[in-house]
Homo-oligomer: A and B are copies of this chain.
C-alpha cells in the first residue's frame, strides 16, 4: 500500500489558515486597517482562495475570524479558570495571565475582538452581531462558574459582566499606557467584587 505522497506534516488547509491569520491581524490593528491582501500574505494562501472560500469577501472572513478568536480565547481562559483551586485564585490567574500576555507581545495581544467590536458597532450589523455573540458566550461561561462557586444565581450574570468589563477596560488602559499596572488594579477590583458577593 502506498503511503501518503509526502511525509512532512501537512499544513492546515488554506481556509483555516486564512481565518487564523485574519484573527491575529484583527487583534493587533483592527478591521479597517487590515487589508485582504495583507491577510492573504500572512496566511501564505493563494489570492483567489479568499473569494473561493469566502464568497462574502472581507466581511464574511472577518465574521468567522471574530467567532473563532472569541471561542479560542474562551477556551484559554476556561482552562486557566478551571486549573485554579478556588474562585479568587481563578480570577487572579486570569488577570495575571492577561498581563503576562501583554508583556510577552509588547502590548499587542490584548482582547482579540474588542477593537473590531468598537469599530463595527455602528457600521456593520452582521459583524456587530458576531462580537455580541462572543461576549454573550463569555458571560454565560463565567456566570455558570460563578454560580458553581457559590455566587447567588441572581447575581452571577451581573458579576460576570462586570468582571469582563473590568478586563476589557484594563486592556484598553494597559495598551495605551504600555503598562500592566491597570491590569493589576482591575484584578484587585474584581477580587473585591467577588468577596463582597460571597460575604452577602
- Copy number of this protein in the oligomer? 2
Residues A172 and B33 in contact in the complex (CB < 8 Å), given A185-B161, A185-B165, A192-B193: no
CB contacts under 8 Å to B, within A89-141, are: 106-108, 110, 114-115, 117-119, 121-123, 128, 131-132, 135-136
CB contacts under 8 Å to B, within A29-62, are: 29-33
Q: How far is the CA of A123 from the CA of B164 in the complex (A)?
A: 25
CB contacts under 8 Å to B, within A176-200, are: 176-178, 181-182, 185-186, 188-189, 192-193, 196
Q: How far is the CA of A45 from the CA of B100 in the complex (A)?
A: 46
On whether the beta carbons of B121 and A107 are closer than 8 Å, the reply is yes
Q: How far is the CA of A196 from the CA of B189 in the complex (A)?
A: 10
Q: How far is the CA of A162 from the CA of B192 in the complex (A)?
A: 11
A22 at the interface (CB under 8 A from B): no
| Contact indicator per residue, chain A 10-40, by CB within 8 Å of chain B (1) or not (0) | 0000000000000000001111110000000
CB nearest neighbor in B for A108: B122
- Enumerate chain A interface residues (CB-CB to B < 8 A): 28-33, 106-108, 110, 114-115, 117-119, 121-123, 128, 131-132, 135-136, 158-159, 161-162, 164-173, 175-178, 181-182, 185-186, 188-189, 192-193, 196
Q: List 27 A-B contacts (CB under 8 A).
A: A29-B32, A30-B32, A30-B119, A31-B33, A32-B32, A107-B122, A110-B118, A114-B118, A114-B172, A115-B119, A117-B172, A117-B175, A118-B171, A121-B175, A121-B176, A122-B175, A128-B175, A131-B176, A132-B176, A132-B178, A136-B177, A161-B181, A164-B173, A165-B186, A168-B168, A168-B172, A192-B192
